[in-house]
Amino acid sequence: MTANNFCPKILVIDNEELDNAIFKMLINRVIKNCEVDIMVNSEEAIKKLLEKSNSKPELLPDFIFLDLKMPVMDGWQFLEEFERLNIDPLRKIQIYILSSSVLGDDIDKSLSNPLVEDFLPKPINLDKIRTIFEAA
C-alpha cells in the first residue's frame, strides 16, 4: 500500500509552532488530504487521548509524533502517563519521538522504550516520512 492510498489519524505533540507547520506540510506532501492534529501541550494531549480511549477508542490516532522537550509535561512524562493510564491497551498506536536532541542518552532511552517505534531527529526529512507511511 502506498502512502497516497490511505489516511491514517496522525497526532503531533510539540510546542514549537514552526516545527509543527513544517512537519504538517511534509506529511501532506506524502499523504494527500490527510488530517494532522497538532497539540502544543502534552498534558492536554494525555487528557484528550484518555477520553477517546475510554469512550471511542476507534478515534485514537494511528501515529503520534512526540517532542521530548516541552514545558508543563515533557515527552518522557507523556510516555509514562500514556503507559500508566493504559491509553492504548492493544498497542495499535505507533509513537515516534521527534526531537532536536542530539544527546545519545535521549536517543538510546527513546529506542529502548517499548512504546516508541523510532527516534526521528529534527528537522525531519521527506524521505523518512515517506518510509514511515509506506511501511504502514
What is the SS3 assignment for 13? strand
Say if pTM beats, i.e. exceeds, 0.95: no
- Sign, Cα dihedral of 131, 75, 64, 100: negative
Nearest to 40 by CA among 20, 60, 23: 20
- Please, what's the b/e burial string for 99-114 (b: 16 or more CB within 10 A of its CB; e: otherwise)? bebeeeebeebbeebe
Domain ranges of the chain: 9-135
pLDDT tens for 47-101 read 999 999 999 999 999 999 999 999 999 999 999 999 999 999 999 999 999 988 7
pLDDT at 5: 58
Nearest to 61 by CA among 94, 26, 85, 28: 94
**Count of beta carbons in the 10 Å neighbourhood of residue 29:** 12
Share of the chain above pLDDT 70, in %: 95
pLDDT at 100: 86
The residue whose grid cell reads 538510546 is 108
CATH superfamily of the domain spanning 9-135: Response regulator (3.40.50.2300)
Mean local confidence (pLDDT), 95-115: 90
Q: Provide the grid cell at 85.
A: 493510564
Q: What is the DSSP secondary-structure string of 22-76? A: HHHHHHHHHSTT--EEEES-HHHHHHHHHHHHHH-GGGS-SEEEE-S--SSS-HH
